[in-house]
Structure 1
Amino acid sequence: MAGSTVVMKLVCLLVVAMAIAAPIAQAALTCGHVSTMIKPCIHYLNKGGAVPYACCNGIRSLNSAAKTTVDRKSTCNCLKSATGSFKRITIILAATLPGKCGVSVPYKISPSTDCNKVH
């Protein structure tokens, strides 16, 4: 009986440890998440003009969601890839967009950004 009590306590301890560790092991933001959040910005990034309200909401949401270094690096890589892939995106507009939305990001949005240096 005493042996089964010890085993039961170990199982309970393991379950509690897994529950505590689960939030730590969550995946970083994906490029799909990033794309969804910046989608309202595409017209602005192609043509300029006034920054749409929905675009700034997406930028603020993305900035809020990127809480960890892993998330910020992942987001940086997604944005870097997007600015390099879409020929119509004006790099200067992309680089200045966060500031126009009142958001400060710890890196420049550019195809030349070294996202490994993001903290």
Structure 2
Amino acid sequence: MARSAQLAVLVALLVATAPAVSAVTCGQVVSMLSPCLNYAMGRSPTTTPACCAGVRGLNNAARTTADRQTTCNCLKQQTSGMGGLKPNIVAGIPSKCGVSVPYAISPSTDCSKVH
């Protein structure tokens, strides 16, 4: 086997066996969704274009299981620790922005089961 082919096989094995590491951080989640705060607190009647751009950007960034679990855990942490948020409004933000999220945004969501 040629050296370049051996290297390619080695890289493929390392990638396949490496533990999942999230590329999305909680700081990024908070930053991307901060334009949604007024709506999430019931202070604004509609989502803003900036809010929906953040939701779409976050959904596009969270493509792996690890990214989605990090995002889910961050959302749970932020929504439970921040007073004034309306859970029913928060849960509906993705659909208001035309984005499909593969889990319910809820304090009861088990983020370890998000894939």
After superposition, give the CA deviation of every residue in 1:28-84 in whole Å (9 maximum; x if it has no partner).
Answer: 111001011001001111124111110000000000000100000000000111111
Question: Is the 1:48–1:93 Cα contact (8 Å) retained in structure 2?
Answer: no
User: Structure 2 matches for 1:1-119, cutoff 5 A?
Assistant: 13=7, 17=11, 21=15, 27-28=21-22, 29-46=24-41, 47-119=43-115
Task: Pick closer, same or farther for the CA change 1:26–1:116 going to 2, 3 Å.
Answer: closer
Provide the rounded CA distance (Å) in 2 between the counterparts of 1:83 and 1:113: 12
Number of residue-to-residue matches in the alignment: 106
Aligned identity (percent) is: 48
Larger RCO: 1 or 2 (CA < 8 Å, sep 6+): 2
Superposed CA RMSD: 2.4
Structure 1 residue runs without a partner (length 5+): 1-8
Cα distance between partner residues in 2 of 1:25 and 1:45: 34
CA distance in 2, matches of 1:77, 1:84: 11
- The one-letter code of the counterpart of 1:76 is C
Secondary structure (helix, strand or coil) at the match of 2:29 reads helix
Unaligned runs of 5+ in 2: none
CA shift, 1:25, in A, is 7.3
The two structures have a TM-score, normalised by structure 2, of 0.81
Counterparts of 2:55 and 2:113 in 1: how far apart (Å)?
21
| Aligned partner letter, 2:84 | R
TM-score by length of 1: 0.78
- Cα distance in 1 between the residues matched to 2:91 and 2:44: 12
